[in-house]
């Protein structure tokens, strides 16, 4: 018997695979059955998850500011493009269709929830549609990530929207206002004044607005909402003549800023500019406070449709609308 015949006649060792099948491969499964490891890593899709709103093809990442695109560089190229386009849609829709703008912001957050400008955008759109708990959470997250206090006025106003004026005032006092830009400082004064009104502290509400920016001699973008807030508070105090004068000044300031007229300074002859040093300071601790009654957040607005947001990455912000 030859050596080949002897090898063929030997019994197969137990545990060794048959040579009929390729070494290292298991039995072939049916066409419909997938390997276990593929089933483990398969992404689970939530059937109840809301679909992202449609973005027109004409909208590109270049429609948002460069500072935003820089923040998105930590994402993949494809993901950064979609997030930027959603943020561009927020800028376009925030005034005309705030609900749809909020949906675009949420879609961006699902793709880039750790980017500061995305959290800021969700917070502002949530504030716009009246979801104050979400607005507060997202704006605090943005503040924690970025270290910026630019949205502090909306944080304070969101506390008011949740019927917590005391916490709103506490938040307003946590920051040195000298470190804020004039626009943010004005918006913070308006929000704090609204919280004082919520508590029935009308005189203190007026004093919150008596800041250096309350000056008819120098009119800026933030001047009309400040003048109008001051007029509204004077009306609450029953000083109707003074209220009418400041309301008229706010309207003239808007016209002047729009380039329609330059006679805004004529009102100076009719208005007495508040003397901040002469007003007696009221200590809230020594003043009896009436019991706070929880009430619905009042949105009085300031004339413009802008709801505190001029697009992702921009520095200018409108006034808080909850007054």
First CA to last CA across the chain, in angstroms? 106
Residue 224: its pLDDT value, please?
A: 95
pLDDT, average across residues 90-94: 96
Please provide the average confidence, as pLDDT, over all residues in the chain: 80
pLDDT one-digit tens code per residue, 193-219 = 999 999 999 999 999 999 999 998 888
270 domain residue, yes or no: no
Residue 306: per-residue pLDDT: 35
Q: How far apart are CA 260 and CA 14, in angstroms?
A: 98
> Can you say how many angstroms the Cα of residue 137 is from the centroid of all Cα atoms in its chain?
10
Same domain, 106 and 173: no
pLDDT of residue 51: 84
**Is 37 part of any domain?**
no
Give the distance from CA 63 to its chain's centroid: 19
Q: How many Å apart are CA 292 and CA 303, to the nearest integer? A: 29
- Write out the residue range of the structural domain in which residue 125 sits: 52-147
The answer to whether position 284 is within a domain reads: no
* Domain shared by 185 and 116, yes or no: no
Contact yes or no for 160/194 (Cβ under 8 A):
yes
Whether residues 174 and 104 fall in one domain: no
Question: Residue 237 in 3-state DSSP?
Answer: coil
Indicate if 176 and 141 belong to the same structural domain. no
Q: Which residues contact 88 (CB under 8 A, 6 or more apart)?
A: 59, 60, 61, 63, 64
> Do 68 and 312 meet the contact criterion of CB atoms below 8 Å apart?
yes
Q: Could you tell me if residue 177 is inside a domain? A: yes
Q: Is residue 7 part of a domain?
A: no
pLDDT on residue 303: 34
Q: Which of 121, 147, 173 is the last residue of a domain?
A: 147
Report the pLDDT value the prediction gives residue 248, as an integer from 0 to 100: 95
The number of distinct structural domains making up the chain is 2
Residue 87 is assigned to a structural domain of this protein: yes
Residue 68 in 3-state DSSP?
helix
At 263 the pLDDT is 47
Last residue of a domain, one of 212, 235, 259: 259
In a domain, 44, yes or no: no
Cα 244 from Cα 292, distance rounded (Å): 29
Span 34-61, average pLDDT: 74
Residue 271 makes CB contacts below 8 A (sequence gap 6+) with 216, 242, 245, 246, 249
Share of the chain above pLDDT 70, in %: 65
**Residue 120 belongs to domain with CATH number:** 1.25.40.10
14-18, 180-184, 293-297: lowest mean pLDDT where?
293-297
Lowest mean pLDDT among 130-144, 163-177, 284-298, 309-323: 309-323
Residue 12 pLDDT grade (very low, low, confident, very high; cuts 50, 70, 90): low
Query: What per-residue confidence (pLDDT) applies to 218?
Result: 84
Residue 278, classed as helix, strand or coil, is coil
Q: Give the CATH number for residue 186.
A: 1.25.40
Cβ neighbours for 66, distance < 8 A, ≥ 6 positions apart: 313
Whether residue 166 is predicted with pLDDT greater than 90 in this model: the reply is yes
Looking at the structure, do residues 120 and 86 belong to the same domain, yes or no?
yes
């Amino acid at each position: 018997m030859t050596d080949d015949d002897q090898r063929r006649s030997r019994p197969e060792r137990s545990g060794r695979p048959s040579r009929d099948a390729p070494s290292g491969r298991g039995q072939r499964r049916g066409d419909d059955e997938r390997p276990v490891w593929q089933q483990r890593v398969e992404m689970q899709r939530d059937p109840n998850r809301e679909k992202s709103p449609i973005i027109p093809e004409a909208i590109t990442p270049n429609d948002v500011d460069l500072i935003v695109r820089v923040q998105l560089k930590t994402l993949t190229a494809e993901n950064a493009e979609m997030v930027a386009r959603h943020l561009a849609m927020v800028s376009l829709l925030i005034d005309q269709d705030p609900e749809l703008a909020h949906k675009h912001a949420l879609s961006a957050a699902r793709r880039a929830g750790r980017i500061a400008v995305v959290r800021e955008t969700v917070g502002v759109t949530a504030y716009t549609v009246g979801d104050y708990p979400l607005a507060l959470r997202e704006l605090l997250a943005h503040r924690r990530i970025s270290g910026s206090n630019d949205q502090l006025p909306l944080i304070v106003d969101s506390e008011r929207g949740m019927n917590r004026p005391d916490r709103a005032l506490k938040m307003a006092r946590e920051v040195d206002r000298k470190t804020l830009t004039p626009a943010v400082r004005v918006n913070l004064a308006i929000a704090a004044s609204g919280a004082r009104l919520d508590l029935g502290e009308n005189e203190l509400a007026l004093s919150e607005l008596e800041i250096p920016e309350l000056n008819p001699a120098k009119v800026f973008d933030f001047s009309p909402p400040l003048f109008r807030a001051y007029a509204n508070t004077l009306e609450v105090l029953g000083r109707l003549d003074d209220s009418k004068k400041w309301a008229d000044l706010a309207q003239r300031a808007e016209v002047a800023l729009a380039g329609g007229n330059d006679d805004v300074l004529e009102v100076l002859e009719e208005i007495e500019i508040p003397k901040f040093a002469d007003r007696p300071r009221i200590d809230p601790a020594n003043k009896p406070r009436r019991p706070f009654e929880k009430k619905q957040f009042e949105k009085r607005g300031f004339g413009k449709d802008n709801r505190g947001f001029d697009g992702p990455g921009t520095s200018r912000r409108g006034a808080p609308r909850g007054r």
